[in-house]
Structure 1
Amino acid sequence: PVPKTNNYSPEPDVVTALYKTVPNGLPKILTWCSSSAYTTVCHGDARIDNVYFRPNADPRYEGMKYEGGMYDWAQCMRAPAFYDLSWAISHSFSRDFYAEHADRLVELYWETLCKELPEEEAKKLSLEEFLIGYAVSESVAVAKCILAYETLAKEKKSKDYPHKK
């Protein structure tokens, strides 16, 4: 394992599969995402470390004790909303919490999205397409982490470097 990665070491089969599929698959994913009905301004690094809460001072939201926001918009981008959602859920919680609650968090996000959009816009949305987009984004998030790990491992010339050409 590479130091400071919580003793994480990816499965060699997964790494090999990524090296085979990313060069051809990533451009297809990016093209598909760019035409998504869910495209918006995304944070780019939406994880719990970049979230803040403070007492609510806005009288329009009476009854809400706190309001929240996000720090560090350096990686903001135009992308489908499910990109930030998948990154936030996969990078903010323990594996156990993720396994137990990820589906409910996605469901809650979907319900809130449909409730907050104007009715005519909400009618255009498809839960099935949203879930596919979320799954694709989740795969991209995992791939990015594994490739980053691989880069660190290679730079450290680690004996445990799982991918050999």
Structure 2
Amino acid sequence: MKDTGRGGRKAAPAIFAILLFLFPTVSLASGTTAVSVTATVLSKSVCRFDSKSLALNFGNVDPEIQADATATTTAGFRCGGSAANATFAMVPDVGLHATGGFPRMQNGTVTSEFLPYFLALNPPTGTVPRNANQTLTVTGTIRRSDFQDAYAGTYTDTVVLTILP
């Protein structure tokens, strides 16, 4: 750097020192770094369904019937792991066509038509012995008031059911 005779070379360190004093968080490089520490404690239990899929079929729903339509199916499951007993919880999502947090089936022909329904799981939670076969009962209900004036056709939906842990 050429000395211009105006003290430019000598003034630079002084200006830098003043800037560091005024702005102490500013530095050229840091000799430290932050370390993010994470650990996930796994459950002593692992629960799984016996099958990857399940069907709940209401069959033909007649609008002239004076009662709600119901359908029932079952799913086998088993909990393993190192614990003698496993505590589980069944968690369904709301399906592909939910509105307001409630599931509904969509008409396959007239896709603007929907049919609300409800699912009940039994048992929804529980504690079971390790490696013992268990059965979940899934009951679906369509209220008569929802299907009595519904557009004719086949309605479908897919709900993902998760078993925790």
Normalised by the length of structure 2, the TM-score is: 0.24
* Structure having the higher Rg: 2
Normalised by the length of structure 1, the TM-score is: 0.24
Considering fraction of residues, name the structure with more helix. 1
Considering fraction of residues, name the structure with more strand. 2
Q: Which has the higher contact order (CA 8 A, sep 6+)?
A: 1
